[in-house]
Amino acid sequence: MLGSAPATPGIATMDRLLDTAAHLFWEKGYAATTTREIAEALQMRQASLYYHMASKEDLLYQICMSSLRQIRDGIPLEAMEAAEPAERIPILIRSHMAELLKYQERNVTMLTELRSLSPRHRAEVVALREKYTSFVRSTLEQAQASGGVRADIPVGYLCLALLNLLNWSALWFHRDQALSADRLSELFVKIYLEGAVSARARQASRSLVLPDFDARGPKSRARKMSKPVEIRTEDRLLDAAVALFSSKGYTATSTREVAALLGIQKASLYYHIESKEDLLYLICKASLEQIHGDVEGSTRNLADPLERMQALISTHIESMLRDQDKHATTLAEMHALSQDRLARVLALRHGYENLVRSVILGAQTAGALRDDIDAKYLCLSLLGLMNRVLVWYRPGGRLAPGQLGQVLGAIFLSGVGTRGIASPETR
């Protein structure tokens, strides 16, 4: 749970409605939540909800739009205009995080349930999101033009990396932990502007190889991992389930639709599975085992700590984007699993997080990564930087997955700043 159920009587009715719905959507998923449950949580009649909304889908739309407006309107424009271009980035980070975590459950809903909107509503939300993204990109462009932000990486990737880093934190931040929201903002200022490397390793981190952004022609392909030559029936079944779960959502997909996509009778599915949940569990299990095995294999025999970090990042991106819909389904739908199966999937995820944290700890022990940020938060920040790529990466774009991994590795390890911009605590 991200916070306490927001049913405080003193809050305006519309805010109570949006917060209560977002709380239930986070716990159960949008598709599995009914308007009756929302009304019961608000201690009101179901019919009374329709004084404030046209439908459940309209409620989701209002949550998404309010989330983006709150972040956008929380930016202190006077302070942004008064500061030097490069100094506007910390202001933006702190303001973005303050609003993101103030309305955390609404923002989680917007990040995870956008596909559940109708095409018209989704287009409006995406348009507002793009407007805010353009503002962030413009802020970084101004800083880059003034020499305060590195110029060897196109500003579009600097912008996407920053939003990845910030927005993903809404999924893991807990208010009852030792780290406060303000402190988290300061950590992000450090990581984004200065990078994760230690001062003594900074020169080595600046020599990380970047792709040729101006190159044209065939893009390099993601490294091929082992796959069977012939696709087994079980694999075809999982591929069909992934295709439907990633486009419609797990709850909204029926086994009849999976069977139809495979061109078989619904009854034939049950030769391979006992229930629809079997499919989701197998998808989540395969996703996490794949990325764990790929990253462990790529880092095992590397002695240099910065090389291991870069290998981790590049391999994670390649492995994740090789089966993009499968990993996106795992991240978005695992909450729909039964308690026992969810516990098993979470154990696999924790096992992978422990692998990433161990590589980070090894680099800290070797003096290659800064030790003023706990490995736990470097790990969570890095996973957010990488995993959010699932939302916006499109095959055939400017960079192949491995090249994108090089870019994100450079941003995470050496930062984007050129003049040692720091938070007040490091000045």
Q: In the predicted model, what is the mean pLDDT of residues 330-353?
A: 94
Is 112 or 369 the better-scoring residue by pLDDT?
369
Residues 336 and 32: beta-carbon distance below 8 Å: yes
> What are the residues whose beta carbons fall under 8 Å from the beta carbon of 417, sequence distance 6 or more?
86, 89, 148, 149, 150, 193, 194
Q: In the predicted model, what is the mean pLDDT of residues 234-252?
A: 86
How many Cα atoms sit within 13 Å of 175 on the Cβ side? 11
- pLDDT tens figures, 80-114: 999 999 999 999 999 999 999 999 999 999 998 98
Q: Where are the domains of the chain?
A: 13-149, 199-223+277-417
Is 199 or 414 the better-scoring residue by pLDDT?
414
- pLDDT tens figures, 139-185: 999 999 999 999 999 999 999 999 999 999 999 998 767 789 999 99
Closest by Cα among 157, 182, 171, 162 to 110: 171
The pLDDT value given to residue 420: 45
From the centroid of its chain, how far is CA 281? 21
Q: Is residue 423 scored above 60 in pLDDT?
A: no
The pLDDT value given to residue 205: 67
Residues 111 and 164: beta-carbon distance below 8 Å: no
Question: Does CATH place domain 199-223+277-417 in 1.10.357.10?
Answer: yes
Lowest mean pLDDT among 165-174, 244-253, 374-383: 244-253
Asked whether this chain's domains 13-149 and 199-223+277-417 adopt the same fold, the reply is yes
- pLDDT tens figures, 212-225: 887 653 444 444 44
The residue whose two tokens read 């999937």 is 345
The residue whose two tokens read 């390890």 is 413
Closest by Cα among 356, 375, 359, 385 to 304: 359
- pLDDT tens figures, 23-60: 999 888 888 899 999 999 998 888 888 888 889 999 99
Q: Is residue 210 scored above 70 in pLDDT?
A: yes
The pLDDT value given to residue 286: 94
Angstrom distance (rounded) from CA 121 to CA 415: 36
Q: Is residue 65 scored above 70 in pLDDT?
A: yes
Taking the domain 13-149, which CATH number applies? Answer: 1.10.357.10
Q: In the predicted model, what is the mean pLDDT of residues 244-262?
A: 85
